Amino acid sequence: MLPRLRPILPRWTRAVVTVGLVAIAATACRPLVRTTVDPSTVSLVVRNTSVFDVNVYALPTDDGAPAWLATVPASGTRSLAVNRRQLQRDGGLVVRAQALGSTRVWTSGKILVDDLTVGVLDLSANWIGDVSTSQLYSVTRQVVIVAPDK
């Protein structure tokens, strides 16, 4: 007669492995898609009509270091998500722009942006890369409700 073979894993190890597999199976059933809007960002649309690529920065404080947002290519448009930490304390958005290769820097005035408004930055530069004629303003988002056909 053959001697009885011992189980490969002790009983307590099998229990731990079973619990782990159940936990993995439960986690795998969660949806991976985020279904809500990230409340930690606001929107900024940047339109560059100049012949220069332009660096755009946010100024979280008047005397602090600027936070780089993007480099907008010549004759290009970018839609940016600005983190709320890059806004000023009162929720205002102040941006700084500088054309690549230029020593001229332009700083905007403050606008208020939130979940219902979008910031728009229209960049324009002259032949030496001076972007001082640029404009920053806010527009209200429009919500369109479409009734179903009957």
The predicted-structure confidence for 35-49, as pLDDT tens digits, reads as follows 455 567 889 999 999
The predicted-structure confidence for 133-148, as pLDDT tens digits, reads as follows 999 999 998 766 666 7
| Residue 20: predicted pLDDT | 62
Mean pLDDT of 86-93: 92
In a domain, 146, yes or no: no
Burial class of residue 141 (count of CB atoms within 10 Å of its CB; 0-12, 13-18, 19+)? exposed
Domain span holding position 132: 41-139
Residue 28 has pLDDT above 60, yes or no: no
Cα distances (angstroms) measured from residue 149 to each of 46, 75, 146:
37, 41, 9
| Verdict on whether the full-model pTM lies above 0.95 | no
Task: Look at the chain and count its residues.
Answer: 150
| Residue 142: predicted pLDDT | 74
For residue 17, give the H/E element and its range. helix 11-28
Mean pLDDT of 8-25: 61
Mean pLDDT of 22-35: 57
The residue type at 52 = F
Number of domains in the chain: 1
**In this structure, how many other beta carbons lie within 10 angstroms of the beta carbon of residue 92?**
14
Q: Would you say the C-alpha torsion 22, 24, 25, 26 has a positive or negative sign?
A: positive
CB contact at 8 A, 98 and 85: no
CATH number at residue 96: 2.60.40
In a domain, 4, yes or no: no
| Residue 35: predicted pLDDT | 47
In a domain, 16, yes or no: no
